[in-house]
């Protein structure tokens, strides 16, 4: 069951959980692929409420979002999701079916084709309205050195050669899976 949620009542919770890790999930051709993130923003542009996720270009999730233009954000309401966040933050959907391996429960989407995940029940449904690759020359040199030292290839989860694409997802629905 999906309980409608006023997202403004959840902002503190979302930010608190984001710091520890939440999921961004994409889907293509029947494959549902969650990935752990701890960078993100909720804000307003063009009078739309937007979740922005920052994804390195080499991630499988990057390819899925770029090709489908949709994702869900899956936020835990409890603290006991360390195993899920660890697995989804270190394995690639190119190699494993993370949903199957973890036995996660999917909940059909409302406004997007991508499902929510019952174990991380607070769900934002997002449609990409803008995307842009971050420009290395426009960031402090210190960040280039810290986050992009170019010594781990892009097929490793600790990849550091690829820069981040900002995907701006308009939040078209928000609910709690019960």
Ligand X SMILES: Cc1cc2nc3c(=O)[nH]c(=O)nc-3n(C[C@H](O)[C@H](O)[C@H](O)COP(=O)(O)O)c2cc1C
Binding residues (CB under 6 A) for ligand X: these are 21, 33, 35-39, 54-56, 59-61, 89-94, 157
Q: What are phi and psi of 92, to 5 degrees?
A: -105, 140
N-term to C-term CA, the chain: 5
Between residues 110 and 134, which has the closer beta carbon with respect to ligand X? Answer: 134
The nearest distance, CB 176 to ligand X, in angstroms, is: 23
Tell me the Cα Rg of the chain: 16
Between residues 49 and 134, which has the closer beta carbon with respect to ligand X? Answer: 134
User: How distant, in Å, are the alpha carbons of 6, 30, 39, 47, 164 from that of 64?
Assistant: 28, 12, 18, 26, 15
The nearest distance, CB 127 to ligand X, in angstroms, is: 19
The nearest distance, CB 102 to ligand X, in angstroms, is: 13
Between residues 13 and 19, which has the closer beta carbon with respect to ligand X? Answer: 19
């Amino acid at each position: 069951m999906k309980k409608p949620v006023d997202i403004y009542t959840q902002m503190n919770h979302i930010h608190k959980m984001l710091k520890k890790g939440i999921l961004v999930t994409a889907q293509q051709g029947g494959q549902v692929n969650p990935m752990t993130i701890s960078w993100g923003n909720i804000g307003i542009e063009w009078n739309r409420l937007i979740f922005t996720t920052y994804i390195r270009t080499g991630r499988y999730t990057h390819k899925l979002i770029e090709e489908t233009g949709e994702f869900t954000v899956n936020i835990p309401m409890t603290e006991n999701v360390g195993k899920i966040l660890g697995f989804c933050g270190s394995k690639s959907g190119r190699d494993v079916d993370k949903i199957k391996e973890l036995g996660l429960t999917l909940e059909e989407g409302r406004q997007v084709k991508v499902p929510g995940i019952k174990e991380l029940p607070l769900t934002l449904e997002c449609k990409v309205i803008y995307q842009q690759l971050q420009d290395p020359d426009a960031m402090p040199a210190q960040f280039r050195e810290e986050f992009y030292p170019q010594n781990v290839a892009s097929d490793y989860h600790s990849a550091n050669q690829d820069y981040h694409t900002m995907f701006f997802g308009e939040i078209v629905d928000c609910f709690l899976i019960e």
